[in-house]
Amino acid sequence: MSRRRTIASGVALAAASVLVLTACAGGTSPDPESPASGGEDYGLIQEGVLTVCSDVPYPPFEDFDDSTESGYTGFDIDLLTAIAEKLDLTIAVQDVSFDALQSGTTLVAGTCDIGASAMTITEERKANIDFSDPYYDSLQSLLVPADSGIASIDDLAGKVVGVQQGTTGEAYTTENAPEDTEIVRYPSDGELWPALQAGQIDAILQDLPVNVEHVRADDTYTIVEEYDTEESYGFAFAKDEKPELLEAVNGALAELREDGTYQEIYDTYFAAE
């Protein structure tokens, strides 16, 4: 979520890694009690299952959905589901705090195999987390009531702006808002959006796609500014603990881009933008 700030590198990784992993997984008839193909190669918490940690809700990237097998939906979830299918795995989702996830604490604790929570790749986070290749480029944005009179971040002087704790939106606000702006930090968008609706804060500064979802839901709110912070999201892994899984995820992501599946999932959530 990019949570989120800084420049990320471009997508890479040879599809050869996927071919090697596939070859290792096959070749013999699977034992009925053995894990799904490749599962035992990745050091998974549960055999045959890719356990995903995510801070929910954060639409359009992750949200609750009882109609799906995992109980969750969103761009991150759908993309990881497709990646898991490439690796002959299923997914299970754990709803966790974003702050603990982006710091690496949740990953090191072994709560999950991978973090998928609209997390921006930053040098600071790289000290504690291994990231996949980038899978989404994002902007920051300022959301306000349409009749607020706020037209830019400079108009936040003397106002109260809400941000999500531990995100690049928080960092951008701290660095760029007027000195007399009151910055209120919330655990997630699940608290930010209701706070704006209730008039407890004057604005929200966070990832553009999330604010776009709020405008779609209620046109009495508007996005008055966008900020190009050159952010890219990556899937997160415990530092130096799952190199085989990281390589396999990158390989599957590259395949999904090549075969058009990535674009199909992307268009489901962002084509209207």
pLDDT, tens only, 130-173? 999 999 998 999 999 999 999 999 999 999 999 999 999 999 99
Query: Which pLDDT belongs to residue 19?
Result: 32
**Side chain identity at residue 30, one-letter code:** P
Average pLDDT over residues 6-35: 35
146 and 93 part of one domain: no
| Domain co-membership, 181 together with 205 | yes
Give the C-alpha separation, 140 to 230, whole Å: 9
Residue 175's contacts (CB-CB under 8 Å, 6 or more residues apart) are: none
Side-chain half-sphere CA neighbours of 35 within 13 A: 19
> In terms of domains, do 108 and 169 share one?
no
The CATH number given to whatever domain includes residue 146 is 3.40.190.10
Query: How many folded domains does the chain comprise?
Result: 2
Domain range for 156 is 138-230
Is residue 6 in some structural domain? no
In the predicted model, what is the mean pLDDT of residues 105-113?
A: 95
Taking each continuous run of H as one helix and of E as one strand, the counts in the chain are 10, 12
In a domain, 82, yes or no: yes
Rounded to an integer, what distance in angstroms lies between the CA atom of residue 198 and that of residue 125?
33
Its pTM stands at 0.74
Any domain includes 159: yes
Predicted local confidence at residue 41, as pLDDT:
76
Same domain for 55 and 131: yes
249 and 170 in one domain? no
Same domain, 122 and 239: yes
**Separation between Cα atoms, residue 214 and residue 243, nearest integer Å:** 37
Considering the domain architecture, whether residues 122 and 242 belong to the same structural domain is answered as: yes
Cα angle 139, 214, 94; round to 5: 80
% of residues, the chain, pLDDT over 70: 85
7 belongs to a structural domain? no
Is residue 158 one of the residues assigned to a domain?
Answer: yes
- Please say whether the beta carbons of 253 and 247 come within 8 A: no
In terms of domains, do 159 and 127 share one? no
User: Domain check: are 50 and 94 in the same one?
Assistant: yes
Helix/strand/coil percentages in the chain, nearest 5: 35, 25, 40
C-alpha 219 chain-centroid distance = 25
Q: Which residue from 18, 52, 23, 25 is spatially nearest to 39, judged by alpha carbons? A: 25
**Do residues 258 and 223 both lie within one domain?**
no
Residue 84 sits in the same domain as residue 197: no
- Does 85 reside within a domain? yes
For residue 5, is it within any domain?
no
What pLDDT score does 40 carry? Answer: 52
Query: What's the CA dihedral at 124, 96, 237, 213 to 10 degrees?
Result: -70
- Asked if 150 and 97 sit in the same domain, the reply is no
